[in-house]
Amino acid sequence: MKAPPPPWYSDRERQDADMDQMTERNRKLAREGEPVFSLAGILAQKTEEERGELVRLAGTEDLAAWLQEPDNFAMLLNALPAADFALFAKAAEGPFLQEDQVFLPMHGGLIHFALMQPYYYGNQLYLVVPTELRALWGDLKRTGFPERKRRKDLIDSYAQACVKLYGVIPLEEFFSVLQQRGGENRTSEAEELLFALADGTYYSIEDELLLYSGLDAGEAAPYLAAREGFPPYLPSHEKLLRLGDGDYYDVFHELELWRLELEEEFRASGKDSPEHLATDFADTLYAVLRTELKDTDHTELFDAFGVTPDETRVRRIKDKTRLWCLRGNTPEELLQRIEKGELRPPVNGPCPCGSGRKYKKCHGAP
């Protein structure tokens, strides 16, 4: 993938560069030429490898018949991430959807399972749901399936977003967020859905706490204690849905710039897969920082990736990272609120900078 345009580009130049990158990636997943609308025709365009993967899933060579079984079709739709399901529902409303703003690598499951096929025709991107599956979709709509699926996805997205932001959140507080931002009340049905979804893949439930995957109630206790005195960061409904995507996290300029610099360094030094190595370092650093309860030495991380230590740069990145110990706020946000007189943390409580020291001995010192 091309590097993003440098920060001194104009907004228009940046937008054009982003569109060029998106189109380049999209064309790798789309077919070139006039769209095909039948399921058999779309399946015939699959490569041998793609068909082989579908056959292993279906357990039969007759993929068209298997996909048209209502139970199989509903099973595939129910397993789709919320963003994939929303795009499918939009594309299935007509013979095709002409949409140039879709980033196809984020919707690979739809293409892989032949639920939707993209085509570039006349330099326009067309998304096609096979005619036979559009008919089945119409049947499912009459049963109320889309509403049930969207409700499940809403709860799942909010749960993933909350544990990503906070690490741990009491169930009562989670349902308050769900009601405030998602308009979904705490009902027995909503609770049953959440408990069924909390299988440990992305989050779990223990002692009336919603926990990030791999975190137990004992390990969560320090985060609950550290967050006292801080208001929660509560983003919009749209941002919560984006955060609920398992592959999404906030990328800010300082971290992305370092990643690009490291990619060039790794490439110049002859390291294998420099782009992936630089991305792994950035992802790992982000994961480490958001879970820290205090400032920590990162020498081990630098050594593992062969990166020159730069704790000053790490501190700048941490200032913009949403920390579990700060209830999803960034140190920069909270310190700005203190400076404006909007927030007065307890003097004996933890400092909003995330250092782990008491406020009175850190940013609150005379």
Q: Does some domain include residue 335?
A: yes
pLDDT per residue over 261-282, tens digit each?
999 999 999 999 999 999 999 9
**Are residues 30 and 127 in contact, defined by beta-carbon separation less than 8 angstroms?**
no
Mean pLDDT value across residues 5-11: 40
Inform me whether the pLDDT recorded for 93 exceeds 50: yes
Q: Does some domain include residue 6?
A: no
Inform me whether the pLDDT recorded for 8 exceeds 60: no
Q: Does some domain include residue 210?
A: yes
The verdict on 15 and 135 lying in the same domain is yes
Torsion of CA 343, 346, 347, 350, to 10 degrees: -100
Give the Cα separation of 71 and 251 in Å (integer).
39
Mean pLDDT value across residues 45-70: 94
Which of 142, 159, 177 is the last residue in one of the domains?
A: 142
Strand pairing of 124-128 and 117-121? Answer: antiparallel
The verdict on 123 and 17 lying in the same domain is yes
Inform me whether the pLDDT recorded for 203 exceeds 90: yes
The verdict on 215 and 322 lying in the same domain is no
Which of 142, 161, 188 is the last residue in one of the domains?
A: 142
Q: What is the pLDDT of residue 13?
A: 43
The torsion angles phi and psi of 163, rounded to 5 degrees, stand at -70, -25
Is the pTM above the cut of 0.75?
Answer: yes
Q: How is residue 337 written in tokens?
A: 């609120």
Q: Does some domain include residue 304?
A: yes
**Are residues 352 and 326 in contact, defined by beta-carbon separation less than 8 angstroms?**
yes
Higher pLDDT, 127 or 19: 127
Q: Does some domain include residue 88?
A: yes
The verdict on 316 and 340 lying in the same domain is yes
The verdict on 110 and 180 lying in the same domain is no
Q: Does some domain include residue 248?
A: no
The verdict on 308 and 334 lying in the same domain is yes
Q: What is the pLDDT of residue 347?
A: 86
DSSP 8: T
The verdict on 27 and 105 lying in the same domain is yes
Q: What is the pLDDT of residue 251?
A: 65
The verdict on 209 and 110 lying in the same domain is no
Q: Does some domain include residue 2?
A: no
Q: What is the pLDDT of residue 36?
A: 96
The verdict on 340 and 221 lying in the same domain is no
Range(s) of the domain holding residue 173: 146-243
Amino acid type, 215? L
Which of 197, 218, 243 is the last residue in one of the domains?
A: 243
The verdict on 50 and 136 lying in the same domain is yes
Inform me whether the pLDDT recorded for 1 exceeds 80: no
**Are residues 338 and 176 in contact, defined by beta-carbon separation less than 8 angstroms?**
no
The verdict on 21 and 135 lying in the same domain is yes
Q: Does some domain include residue 4?
A: no
Amino acid type, 2? K
The verdict on 81 and 57 lying in the same domain is yes
Among candidates 96, 134, 123, which has minimal Cα distance to 26?
A: 123
Q: What is the pLDDT of residue 18?
A: 65
Could you give the number of structural domains in the chain? 3
Helix (H) or strand (E) segment spanning residue 204:
strand 203-206
User: How crowded is residue 279: how many other Cβ atoms within 10 Å of its Cβ?
Assistant: 14
Contacts of 173 (CB under 8 A, 6+ apart): 232
Which residue has tokens 């993938």?
A: 1
Inform me whether the pLDDT recorded for 223 exceeds 90: yes
Inform me whether the pLDDT recorded for 16 exceeds 70: no
Q: What is the pLDDT of residue 9?
A: 36
DSSP 9: S
Average pLDDT value over all residues in the chain: 90
Mean pLDDT value across residues 213-227: 94
- pLDDT bin (cut points 50, 70, 90) of residue 130 is very high
